[in-house]
């Protein structure tokens, strides 16, 4: 097992960073596999370290807790949303731009993986709180992207509402999809959620 953080001063910076990314991903992959097999609460950091072939000390070099290991799978989502929305055309209403961006993102993700992570995120109160916090960050990223696309100051309040409502629609779509076991494409649930939103406003 590794007893020290994987980076050493003798290694070139590029190699150190590559090893760091690989070790972080190995811990995250191992953690997710054990969380699914044994349950989140029953999985210990020692078990993750042993299965990943590293020391407990090395885990703490990358993560402070089991929650952080699981949350790694949510890392970067706000930026992914921001980038996807900015690729949409402004020749459509903001709500349609967001819906289309979400549909394209959904098509690129593994259904089985998304369901597993979402169910794990509901398994403890602390993870549920973290799940809600991530939606706040996604909403802010979405709002910033919309303001970049439609920079008129008078539209900011409206765009804020679009961001809030869109994240809400996405949440409902994901929840319905997970509850149904992912038997149908998540795009179906996204379209239905956004259609319901548009019909009400």
What is the CATH code of the structural domain delimited by 13-71? 1.10.10.60
Least confident of 2-11, 15-24, 79-88, 164-173: 2-11
Q: State the residue for tokens 């149904």.
A: 180
State mean pLDDT over 1-17: 61
Q: Report the pLDDT value the prediction gives residue 113, as an integer from 0 to 100.
A: 73
Q: How many residues are present in the chain?
A: 201
CB of 189 closer than 8 Å to CB of 197: no
Percent of the chain, pLDDT > 90? Answer: 56
User: Cα–Cα distance between 56 and 200 in angstroms, integer?
Assistant: 52
CATH number of 76-200: 1.10.357.10
Domain residue limits, the chain: 13-71, 76-200
Q: What is the mean pLDDT of the chain?
A: 89
């Amino acid at each position: 097992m590794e007893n020290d953080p994987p980076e050493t001063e003798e290694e070139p910076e590029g190699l150190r960073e590559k090893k760091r990314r690989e070790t972080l991903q190995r811990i995250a992959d191992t953690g997710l596999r054990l969380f699914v097999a044994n349950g989140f609460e029953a999985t210990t950091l020692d078990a993750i370290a042993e299965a990943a072939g590293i020391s407990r000390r090395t885990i703490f070099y990358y993560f402070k807790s089991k929650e952080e290991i699981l949350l790694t799978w949510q890392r970067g989502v706000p930026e992914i949303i921001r980038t996807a929305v900015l690729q949409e055309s402004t020749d459509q209403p903001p709500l349609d731009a967001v819906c289309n961006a979400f549909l394209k993102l959904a098509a690129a993700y593994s259904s089985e993986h998304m369901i597993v992570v979402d169910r794990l995120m509901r398994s403890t109160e602390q993870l549920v709180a973290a799940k809600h916090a991530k939606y706040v960050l996604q909403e802010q990223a979405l709002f910033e992207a919309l303001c970049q696309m439609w920079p008129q100051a008078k539209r900011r309040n409206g765009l804020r509402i679009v961001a809030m409502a869109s994240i809400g629609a996405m949440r409902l779509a994901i929840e319905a999809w997970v509850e149904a076991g992912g038997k149908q494409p998540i795009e179906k649930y996204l379209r239905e959620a956004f259609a319901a939103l548009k019909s009400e406003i």
